[in-house]
Amino acid sequence: MTPNSRIISDPGICGGDPCIKETRIPVHVILSHLAAGDSLETVLREFPKLTQEDLRACLEYAAYLTTEKAAPA
């Protein structure tokens, strides 16, 4: 389960990778663009189906994932 309803993970879409709802755009693709230095405006221009809320959801999802604790071996 993800913390944001804009992010979905469905085994039938992009192999189950988390994606923006109603698109086939994986969260990792958006995060890669932002990490490479693309501005929010550039990402929105390159992916016209996305909204600012979608980009915030990706960042929120990444922040959520960093709070997960690894199980000791």
Residue 31 has what pLDDT?
97
Residue 10 in contact with residue 17, Cβ under 8 Å? no
- 8-63 pLDDT, tens digit per residue, is 999 999 999 999 999 999 999 999 999 999 999 999 999 999 999 999 999 999 99
Q: In this predicted structure, what is the pLDDT of residue 4? A: 77
Residue carrying the six token digits 């000791």: 72
pTM: 0.83
For 62, phi then psi, to 5°, come to: -65, -40
The one-letter code for the residue type at 14 is: C
Residue 69 pLDDT exceeds 50: yes
Domains in the chain: ranges and CATH: 7-65 (1.10.10.10)
| Residue partners of 64: CB distance under 8 A and separation at least 6 | 2, 3, 4
What pLDDT is attached to residue 5?
87
How many CB atoms sit inside 10 A of residue 2's CB?
16
